[in-house]
A and B are shown apart, each in its own frame.
Chain A
Amino acid sequence: MFGDFVGKRSDRVKNIVERGAVKKFAEAIGDPHPIFVDEVYAAKTRFKRNLAPPTFPRVFDYGRIEGFPFPVDGLIHGEQSFYYERPLYVGEQLYCYAEVDDYYEKTGKSGTLGFLVLKNYGEDLAGEKIFNATMVIIITEAVRKELAVK
């Protein structure tokens, strides 16, 4: 069933790299560096403003893909990657959306595992791509059975 979603994407959602959210996030990953949290400090750097940590896009709303049964319990996060054209700036606005990139299955000793590849995108208001993120989610047979029953 996941294969049917490959190529489907969500409608883009406008997000803001919110100062308070960046501070809370930087603290939660134990990295409250002034480049992320201190406005006065940041004004003296080459960027003239605060940056967001590279894994901050976890926070954004990417919209929903019609009919896509996520999130569900029991998923395993296998891989994650980020690609940036430039760092994210605190205060900037981005359009974000998600796309189902791929789905495949592999059979091994513990049964057949499903691998779902989801992509997240962030563009500035002019439509320039700023970042993308790829997530590989492992779906066990038990989870697939549960979804099929629903």
Chain B
Amino acid sequence: MKLDQLNHGDVLQEIELPPVTRLDLIKYAGASGDYNPIHTIDEEAKKAGLPGIVAHGMWTMGNLAKLFTPFYEEGYIEKYRVRFVGMVFLGDVIRLQGKLMEHAGDRMVFEVRAVNQKDQAVITGEVVFKRY
């Protein structure tokens, strides 16, 4: 499929991530340099008043962008803006969603979301995909 063929209101193929593991977050900490221990160490998360370790918001945001990776030959993400509206805990099953809201000239505007297994949004945002 090409992004170009989408019509207003069409959705991208949803991606379901495997349940979040501690190793996922340890890997992201190492790859990103964000070693805030609330993402990897239970006691530190509890000290911070959380029920358990939480994923880096940027881990989820990084994952969400892969909705667009298959289309790199058509264009690129010019703007990517999100709000972190919910926390992601170990074992959560996150689904990544995108919907075309606007297509004007060489720019396609998508509403993007990451939702958990309870269908609660953890990220809401927008991607502007600029076509070549």
Contacts and interface: CB of A to CB of B under 8 A. Distances in A.
B69 A24 contact: no
A73 B63 contact: no
Contacts of B79: 81-84
B66 A30 contact: yes
B30 A79 contact: no
B73 A46 contact: yes
A54 B80 contact: yes
B93 interface: no
Contact of B77 (A25, A80, A82): A82
A73 B36 contact: yes
A54 B65 contact: yes
A83 B129 CA distance: 11
Interface string B53-79: 000011101110110011011001111
B57 A80 contact: yes
A25 to B, nearest CB: 4
A55 B65 contact: yes
A51 interface: yes
Contacts of B82: 79-81
8 nearest CB pairs, A to B: A29-B62, A28-B31, A81-B81, A31-B66, A55-B62, A24-B31, A25-B31, A28-B27
